Amino acid sequence: MELPEGLQPLLLAGGLSSRMGTPKHLLPFKDGEPVYKHLLRQLREACPNAKSVFVSLRDPQQMSGLTAVPGIATEILHDGFWHQEQYRQGPDIGPAAGLLAAHKHSPHSHWLVLACDYPFVTTAALIHLNEQFEEPLTCFKNEKGFVEPLIAIWSPQALRQLEDNVRHGMTGPTRAVKMLDTKAISPLEPRTLMNTNTKEEWDKAIGLAGII
């Protein structure tokens, strides 16, 4: 299916990273470049017609340590409101907050979503996702068949379903994926879905991936 015009790229960088002990989006590759800069470039190249790449952060304090990437216009979306005020589901509704902040910003847009949990995603992987897109939601699945809703293209319909779920206490994006007629595809490379939750896992993954 041909993608709708105006596909918006979104980097989810507002996670608590409690097990990692440091913000995942600031983790450095071997060459010292932080994850968020690498992923911003992948999103920019996958959505060349977008005016900006959006970055979802939990609160303004998370902007500490961020610097501009030459040639890439970015816009920040703060999703803390969605954690505490809109749905009153407790202190943290997880990545749904970033998705809903994007939906509130542009309710009629489709969003190409990428979380900083997946630092080894390439432009080719995102283009593959774009080429395979079907309404209302297309995402990757791992080798065991589990869906990965944070590397996905979310339509307005899918985001409305997520919003309704959150209002009823179901905050996980995976629940919305399973409720919708979702197309789940396998990535071209297994490492696309490699994620890390501790510093030890990060160091090991960097070595295995061979990224400098």
Per-residue pLDDT band at 77 (split at 50, 70, 90): very high
Mean pLDDT of all residues in 27-42: 92
Q: Is residue 131 part of a domain?
A: yes
Q: Is residue 21 part of a domain?
A: yes
Q: For residues 78, 18, 26 and 100, what is the CA-based torsion angle, rounded to 10 degrees?
A: -30
Q: Is residue 47 part of a domain?
A: yes
* Model pLDDT, residue 183: 98
Number of domains in the chain: 1
Q: How far is CA 168 from the centre of its chain?
A: 23
Q: Is residue 182 part of a domain?
A: yes
Q: Is residue 3 part of a domain?
A: no
Q: Is residue 1 part of a domain?
A: no
Query: What pTM value is reported for the model?
Result: 0.90
Q: Is residue 91 part of a domain?
A: yes
Domain harbouring 102, CATH code? 3.90.550.10
The domain in which residue 150 lies consists of: 8-207
